[in-house]
Amino acid sequence: GAGVSQSPSNKVTEKGKDVELRCDPISGHTALYWYRQSLGQGLEFLIYFQGNSAPDKSGLPSDRFSAERTGGSVSTLTIQRTQQEDSAVYLCASSSSLVASNEQFFGPGTRLTVL
Amino acid sequence: AQSVTQLGSHVSVSEGALVLLRCNYSSSVPPYLFWYVQYPNQGLQLLLKYTSAATLVKGINGFEAEFKKSETSFHLTKPSAHMSDAAEYFCAVSDNTDKLIFGTGTRLQVFP
């Protein structure tokens, strides 16, 4: 389909390992967002991109988290030295432009489990 | 700072009964308000949004919500619940920074 896709759908890793989560937004969408959904914290904003730039990184929980977007399309969220508290569902969303009233279209998420 | 409060983490109704899911917001600027639904093992899907046009907003699947500035509320309603409405519902607010601030969610159960 033409929706937002994320990979992998599930990721199990050991504490201390690095992981990369991928998001493919809807074609033509210039705005891309990452959120985290966890039992203790609900849905939290992590970072957004307008094109390839990320003007707001305030939601990243620590410097172990980073994200990039290349070619105005695919984005990768990287978590270094994973900790058990990083276990959550990571959701990606895209929007046609960076306008607050625009709908954000969400992908199915990546469920990350850190053992 | 913006915030959203959803009263009731769990709501149970009988099939055919009224659904009322509560959402109150806090915002220093005129807000944009959204309701999203998440079915089991799926991503979030937009139900409806308020963007300062009509205060009564109609969405998909028979849901609607009314923006009440005096009460800082944006409650979600549906006149008659269906079994397929069982899901988790999230209220969210967005200001000019464009990111969504979500409430903690309300899980709706529908009993036959």
Q: Do B101 and A35 touch (CB under 8 A)?
A: no
pLDDT at A1 over 60: no
Report the mean per-residue pLDDT for chain B: 91
> Token match 């959701």: residue?
A91
Q: Does A49 touch chain B (CB under 8 A)?
A: no
pLDDT at B14: 97
Put simply, the answer to whether B97 touches A56 (Cβ < 8 Å) is yes
What percentage of chain B exceeds 70 in pLDDT? 97
A–B: how many Cβ contacts below 8 A? Answer: 54
Residue B97 has pLDDT above 70, yes or no: no
pLDDT reading at B62 higher than 70? yes
Alpha carbon B41 to its chain centroid, in Å, reads 19
Pairwise CB contact (< 8 Å): B43 & A35? no
Q: CA of B49, closest CA in chain A: separation in Å?
A: 8
* Contact assignment for B43 to A59 by CB distance below 8 Å: no
From the list A48, A99, A108, which residue is nearest B99 (CB)? A48
pLDDT tens per residue, range A11-70? 999 999 999 999 999 999 999 999 999 987 789 999 999 888 887 888 999 999 999 998
Residue of A56, A103, A105 with shortest CB distance to B99: A56
Q: How far are the Cα atoms of A44, B63, B77, B84, B86 from residue B20, in angstroms, in the given order?
A: 24, 10, 5, 16, 13
Q: Quick one: pLDDT at residue A82?
A: 98
pLDDT in tens, B1-10: 788 999 999 9
